[in-house]
Amino acid sequence: MAKNEVAEKKQGGALAVIDFAADAGMGMEGMTSQDMAIPFFNILQKLSPQLDTLTNAKAGMIFNTVTEEVFKDITVIPCAYKREFVEWKPREQGGGLVGQHAITSAAVTEAKNVNGKLTTASGNILVETAYHFVLRVELDTGLMEPGLITMSSTQLKKNRRWNSLMNNLKVQGPSGPVTPARFSHMYKLGSVAEQNDKGAWSGWTIDMVGPVSEPGLYQAARDFAQQVMSGAVKTAAPEAEHTGEHNAF
């Protein structure tokens, strides 16, 4: 009998060794991406309700919307990217999410600029929103968890910088320098206080950590990227308070 078989691990009817790998996936067989929530990693703002409900939460910390953990900073592997326009009803009309639109959709191409805001024929506001699908990793524990980071308004400049960092990377290939995959490098994300004439908030900081060197970690990031690109992972609209749009509409 093989070493990993249960019969050889029993002592008095109980398991002597717990082998998570041997039972991988059991009980998850009927689940799809529609049965699970991919967390958003959001920066807590001064008016975020989590500051009142979580003892360790402070403005500027990063919040996991599923586990409700807070972090001073996180290390992530960016895996996939998309950009959409999120449609919101103006606050003076009650506010709230209306829908999400591809950048080439009629809702976007037919919208008009009204007082600096992209506005639909019905008077709703379209907010350009960048979605970064990432794996949060803890190198000391081996933890990996997928998540989603959204950037809009003042943070779109950070979004463009991050994309440029990835696009400008070069590694040596068989025929010369090539741009590696999005998931080839890790980045440390934190926050910094920002302000303009409309208010103050906490925005993202992005610093490169270095290349992914562990094959299993690289494969996990690659698998997540493929899931997103295949459509198996869907994006939900960000909550208004988490978009940085407290001063935008």
Residues 29-44 pLDDT 10s:
554 444 446 899 999 9
Residue 190 within a domain: yes
Structural domain harbouring 134: 58-247
Residue 6 within a domain: no
Residue 40 within a domain: no
Cβ partners under 8 Å of residue 10, min gap 6: 16
Name the domain count of the chain. Answer: 1
Q: Confidence band (pLDDT; 50, 70, 90) for 237?
A: low
Residue 230 within a domain: yes
Q: Is the pLDDT of residue 248 over 80?
A: no
Residue 138 within a domain: yes
Residue 41 within a domain: no
Q: Is the pLDDT of residue 105 over 70?
A: yes
pLDDT at 239: 62
Residue 23 within a domain: no
Question: For residue 69, which phi and psi values (nearest 5 degrees)?
Answer: -85, 155
Residue 152 within a domain: yes
